[in-house]
Structure 1
Amino acid sequence: MQVGLRQTPSPAYWLNWYTGQSSRNKLIVFADGTYLELFCWINTPREFYAWANKSPGLIDFALTAMPPSTAQSLHNSIMSRLRENQNGKELDLGYTLPDVGSRTRWDAVQVKWESSRPVTSNSLNRTDFPFLCHDVTPRTVRVPFDHKEKTTHPCGAVGISIVEVMVPKTRFDFFAKLYGYILGASPRIIDERGKDRCLDFEIGLPNQGLGPSNLSLRSEQDEIDRDWLRDRGAGIRGLVLSIGGREGHGEEALGVGGIASTISLKW
């Protein structure tokens, strides 16, 4: 799993800038094989158009699969589940065929991956659902989660425990079904208060010794959530990072406002 976080520009967050591109990024890599991507525009957007109008904060996330799965087999399995459950109706959701991407690292090592993005009807948005990103070269070439120095963080975070996705209450059942088809998993009910519902999907991690993780799908519960949906639409709403060696001791947000309020540490 990988999660995108849009930041305002800061030199500390600039990792790569390729001639002609309009953005820069930096990865914060965790020991469980996931990462948080800090992303900022440096020019008029010429790529990642679904992110172009997003205000700073959590904007998107991706799912992956580890060998022996391939990008094509992951795509095929998701599309098969979606088609089987449309009851003969036109697909509201699909995924593009995997597209190859590559770059050369500073040490001349070639990095390759394949990505696939949701294709939706007019009533849905691209970032309502995760995109797919599959490593062609070993994942550690692009995401060095085997490198202790790069995965050791002052806060003690070892990985992503929960990705929280918020969707409109009026379409909760619709989104719950589609997420079930994408993930190939059945959810369990976490909370149900009238129409305020929360479902939890268990998902694996690249480093299986530190998993699994969870995707939590919920509807809006207060005016803050309603403002969020009006401003940003459905999609990733929060992120919980797990702290190694201190499980079961509570959870605390990084801050009380802005981006910090959407990311928590779980002890």
Structure 2
Amino acid sequence: MSIPSTKTLDHIVHLTPPGTVDEVSRQFRDLGFNVIPGGTHAGGLTANALVILQDGVYLELISFTHPASHYPPGSPDRAKRDANPWAWKSLGWIDYAFLGSSKASIANIINDRAGTHIYEPEVEGGRVRGDGKVLKWVISAPGEELGRGSTPFFCGDVTPRELRVPIDPPSNAEHPSGVLGIAYVRVLVGRKALSELSSQLQFVVGEEAILKTNTQLQWELKTPSGSGSTRNPRLVLSIPTNEEEEVSLKDRGPGIAEVAFWTGDGGKAGEAVTPYGKVVWLRPT
């Protein structure tokens, strides 16, 4: 069996306060995105809505269904919520996933490249769609020492990916802003940690960066549906470029600083800040 690719961008996760899936859906619609219903994850701790792009990547607009105080201290449900990898994250862009595999262990592939244990074995996950369809997948996440959000986790579908990412009808991926696909995901990191994190990402992607300076590295990624009318997206690892980003890195820790989107002719351009994250629109030149 051939080794599956480990550089296909699958989705990007955006977190808002508990119970706000409808509100964040409205906010992203106001930005020009078409938002479709998602569902409730297994265990009932979180719910989501989706923004599906023509390159097959999607945004997961997620929130916890209840604040931690909803669950009695010491109860099993409270323990499960506190153990969730996103329970202690600051709001906004919090994580990103590459497409995994249910037939081969992505963790083993990456750990073999690294010569050490940096990814955890696959665990089962899933959610129930609003129409009752049950979705199943396996997740492989970076170990605790790497942290979630600066290196990707992997999601490998057990049930067909089309159930998790409903690209049919095509109108699901049509957006008033003209957005077509992901241009880049920019991960912010401190200068001292730049070299170490870049080495870890090279093990994950399986290739050296196509651009490398003292302040930034870039890797070219794949997308589930191919690049189509846009260029392939890039994963950008960067140190802060201004005081605002310095403050953000200090407050939030390393992780996604902004997400950029390709738009078509006449599509949106420029940038905006949601209540919790930065969005950039780019037109291919």
Question: Which category describes the TM-score, using the shorter chain as reference length?
Answer: 0.7 to 0.9
CA shift at 1:34, angstroms? 0.5
C-alpha change, 1:32 and 1:155, in structure 2 (3 Å) is same
Match among 239, 242, 259 for residue 239 of structure 1? 259
Check the 8 A contact 2:41/2:127 in 1, yes or no.
Answer: no
Q: CA deviation digits over 1:66-95, x for unaligned, max 9? A: xxx545343322111111xxxxxxx4x621
Give the aligned partner of residue 62 of structure 2.
39
Structure 1: gaps (5+ residues)? 84-90
Aligned counterparts of 2:226 and 2:194: Cα–Cα separation in 1: 30
Q: 2:272 matched to which residue of 1?
A: 254
Q: What secondary structure sits across from 1:179 in the alignment?
A: helix
Q: Name the amino acid aligned to 1:224.
A: E
Give the letter for the 2:222 counterpart. Answer: G
- One-letter amino acid of the counterpart of residue 93, structure 2: L
Residues 233-265 of structure 1, C-alpha deviation per residue, up to 9 Å, x if partnerless?
A: 111111001113469xx951124x7435x1111
Distance 1:246 1:229 in 2: 34
**Residue number in structure 2 paired with 1:187:** 209
Are positions 1:75 and 2:107 aligned together?
yes
Distance 1:22 1:100, change over 3 A: closer
Alignment of 1:263 with 2:262, yes or no, is: no
Q: 2:142 aligns with which of 93, 118, 121?
A: 118
| Residue 223, structure 1, aligned to residue 243, structure 2 | yes
Name the CA shift for 1:209/1:240 in 2 (closer, same or farther; >3 Å). closer
The match for 2:84 is 49
Secondary structure of 1:212's partner?
A: coil
Q: Deviations over 1:7-64 (max 9, x none)?
A: 2415354742469523221111111111111112232354463322223211111111
TM-fit CA distance, 1:106: 4.1
Whole-Å separation in 2 of the counterparts to 1:19 and 1:61 = 19
* Residue pair 1:72, 1:98 contacting (<8 A) in 2 also: no
Distance 1:140 1:19 in 2: 18
Question: Secondary structure of the equivalent of 2:56?
Answer: coil
2:96 paired residue among 61, 66, 77: 61
RMSD: 2.6
| Aligned partners of 2:41 and 2:128 also within 8 Å | no
Change (3 A) 1:223 1:139: same
The Cα shift of 1:103 comes to: 3.7
Contact 1:50–1:127 under 8 Å retained in 2:
no
Structure 2's unaligned 5+ residue stretches are 1-9, 26-36, 69-79
Q: What is residue 126 of structure 2 aligned with on the other side?
A: 102
Please report how far the alpha carbon of residue 120 of structure 1 lies from its aligned counterpart in structure 2 after TM superposition: 3.2
Give the 3 Å change call, closer, same or farther, for CA 71–96 of structure 1 in structure 2: farther
Residues 6 and 39, structure 1, Cα contact 8 Å, conserved in 2: yes
Q: Is the 8 A contact 1:22 1:44 kept in 2?
A: no
* Distance change (3 Å), C-alpha of 1:176 and 1:18: closer
Give me the whole-angstrom Cα distance separating, in 2, the residues matched to 1:61 and 1:231.
19
1:218 to 1:244, Cα distance in 2 relative to 1, 3 A? same
